[in-house]
Amino acid sequence: MKKEEIIGKTVFDVAPEELAAYYYEADKALFQSKDSQVYEAHVKPSNGSTRDVVFHKAVFYDLKGALVGLIGIILDVTDRKRVEESLRKSEASLANAQRIAHLGNWEWDIVINKVRWSDEVYRIFGLAPREFGATYEAFLNSVHPDDRECVKESVNKTLHEKIPCNIDYRIVLPEGTERIVHAQAEVVFDDTGKAIGMNGTVQDITERKRTEEALRRRIDKEQILSNISARFVKFTDFDNAITASLADIGRLSGACRVQLFQFCDNGGIMDNTHEWREVGVMSEIKHFQTALFPWWMKNLHANNVIYIPDVSQMPPEAAPEKESLKRQGVQSVLSLPLYIEEKLLGFVRLDNVLSTEERDISLLRITSGIIGGALARRQTETLINHLAYYDALTNLPNRNLLQDRLQMTITQARRTNGIVAIMILDLDSFKTINDSLGHQVGDLLLKAAAERLSRCIRKGDTLARMGGDEFMLILPDLADALNAAPVASKIIHVLQQPFFLGSHKLSTTASIGISIYPLDADTKDSLIKQADIAMYLAKGQGKNTFQFYNPNLNIRI
């Protein structure tokens, strides 16, 4: 507007009616207050465009102090308002982007030790502005204690070596929740090269880290499963394969100790046959008496996984198990039954486990199944091997194993100039007992005779059943060939004592033939043949006696 368009006019002449009324009331209030006044308003000049303005008004007086009017200044702030609005929108957009990305920015004035955070940083740290001390030390207090030194070292390295900071660390929110953040920062220097501040960003990467960890664990689990399966393809080193597999299970579950218990010959005892422990962890138990822990065994026989996250909270019926575990320092335990073809072979026990997810327990069941299958296969192969070399009735070495041991004994004696005695023993009257009382009684007699014979020999001697009622003994390392005679006499004495088998009282005797290496022969076949000749000589002399081989005898067998 031109000044001639305003001079001499009232507000109602130059402004729209609604604004004129507003201005008039404002001026009226100003006259009454006799003060000054500042307010914003929209004006619409003659060109029709709306402008944002700020009115600054004040009353003024004449020389006599009488109120005579008001004076005012109108400032056009339209452009400033537009800049401010653009800045506000930009900041809002940035804040929204930071919120979506969980990425906030911060500034640290090193000179006055003042920290400024964006809204998203406060959200990430779970703090309100009034709850934050706005200092470097206050920031460090939010860092996880175990990561604090690492963060301080990274900041110091950035300050002194001028290397940008790039670090992941954990923070602890006020309610105790842990989060993982990624921080990047650069140093601000003054003209002299002195560090005066740092600017950076912090991003909440907790979910990404959890996803990465879940993926890593999945890959690890699949690799562990593959490793365990591969170890048992061949049985070249079974014990080490078991121990390595227990170590894999321990690392997977976070356990401090993993033990494999198997039933021994006595069904009431389970032995700790294999064990893996973390460094510094002691082995606490070697044997497991099943009768002492009925609750535990009931669950194992039902093929149930036993998971106790807190041993102190075990049920009342598991009191013996609870007391035993507490004595061993076990706070949590996971037990996996080794159940193969409806038979319980044993169990794998994990002490102080950390991982309790159902997926992990399912995987552990698979691994225990692999181990159980390997154990069953090992037991079958052991049994087959045992049957190939041991007599099924007496559990003594059979003819095959005896042949091997005799050859080894002769080879050793040849190197050491040793003396070896070979005895062949036949139970007199066994055929009569077996035919008259039946095979069951005959088998009992053979087993009882084998037990008595076992008590007559030294450790290192070999007692074998050749078949039927015939036994053979190998006595190595004799000082003199005649030292075999007292052993033969002892055998004849113990075997002629009555046998009480059920309701039967049986009597039998033995005829023994003896050959000597190297006196009589230097090959196993010849020694066996000569001992056999001597045994028949003993029978011909009335039985219940022994006879050394005599090369001058010519006996027809």
Q: Is 103 exposed, middle or buried (0-12, 13-18, 19+ CB in 10 A)?
A: buried
Among residues 337, 366, 333, the alpha carbon closest in space to that of 350 is found at 333
Radius of gyration over alpha carbons of the chain, in Å? 49
The domains of the chain, with CATH numbers, are 3-76 (3.30.450.20), 101-204 (3.30.450.20), 214-386 (3.30.450.40), 399-548 (3.30.70.270)
Distance CA(83)–CA(87), nearest Å, equals 6
- Between 46-60, 91-105, 381-395, 401-415, the lowest mean confidence (pLDDT) is in 91-105
Tokens of 551: 């090369």
Amino acid in position 383:
L
Contacts of 153 (CB under 8 A, 6+ apart): none
Q: What residues are paired with 511 via a beta bridge?
A: 426, 545
Percent of the chain with pLDDT over 70: 91
Q: Mean of the per-residue pLDDT values for the chain? A: 87
The mean per-residue pLDDT over the stretch 280-304 comes to 90
User: In this predicted structure, what is the pLDDT of residue 177?
Assistant: 93
Q: pLDDT tens for residues 117-128?
A: 988 889 999 998
- Are 43 and 11 spatial neighbours (Cβ–Cβ below 8 Å)? no
More confident residue, 88 or 96: 88
Distance CA(233)–CA(340), nearest Å, equals 18
Tokens of 31: 């006259």
Among residues 320, 376, 367, the alpha carbon closest in space to that of 346 is found at 376
Q: pLDDT tens for residues 150-199?
A: 999 999 999 988 888 999 999 999 999 999 999 999 999 999 889 999 99
